[in-house]
Amino acid sequence: DIVMTQSPLFLPVTPGEPASISCRSSQSLLHSNGNNYLDWYLQKPGQSPQLLIYLGSTRASGVPDRFSASGSGTDFTLKISRVEAEDVGVYYCMQGLEALFTFGPGTKVDIK
């Protein structure tokens, strides 16, 4: 199975400041078709997870443009250009390359 890791696991943020989360996979998520099979999800407190990013860097419908993602192969990054209070929660990366999907451990983002 592909193992996903994230860092940091806890990220205190200041509203208006940028934030960045790293995700790494034990195997390359870059398929020979040119796509990276890496998703990002946000689980806000008391809510179900919601999709933020798919195929490595494509924002899902309705996701604010302060969220961006990049990376390829085994190293990926989610960035928030200016954190807002509503962005608090746990961010998960997930590999979609193999049918046995695996999530990262999650990064808890909270306001300082």
Partner 1 sequence: VHLVESGGGLVAPGGSLRLSCAASGFIFSDYSMVWVRQAPGKGLEWVASISSSRTYIFYADSVKGRFTISRDNADNSLYLQMNSLRAEDTSVYYCAREDVYFHFWSGYRHRSFDMWGQGTMVTVSS
Q: Contacts with partner 1: how many residues (CB under 8 A)?
A: 29
- Interface with partner 1 includes 90 (CB under 8 A)? yes
For residue 54, the minimal CB distance to partner 1 (Å) is: 4
Looking at the Cβ atoms of 14 and 58, the one nearer to partner 1 is 58
Binders of partner 1 among 21-50, rule CB under 8 A? 31-33, 35, 37, 39, 41, 43, 48-50
3-25: string of b/e by CB count within 10 Å (b at 16+)? Answer: ebebeeeebebeeeeebebbbbb
What does the per-residue mask of binding to partner 1 show for 47-86, with x meaning CB under 8 A?
A: -xxxx--xx----x--------------------------
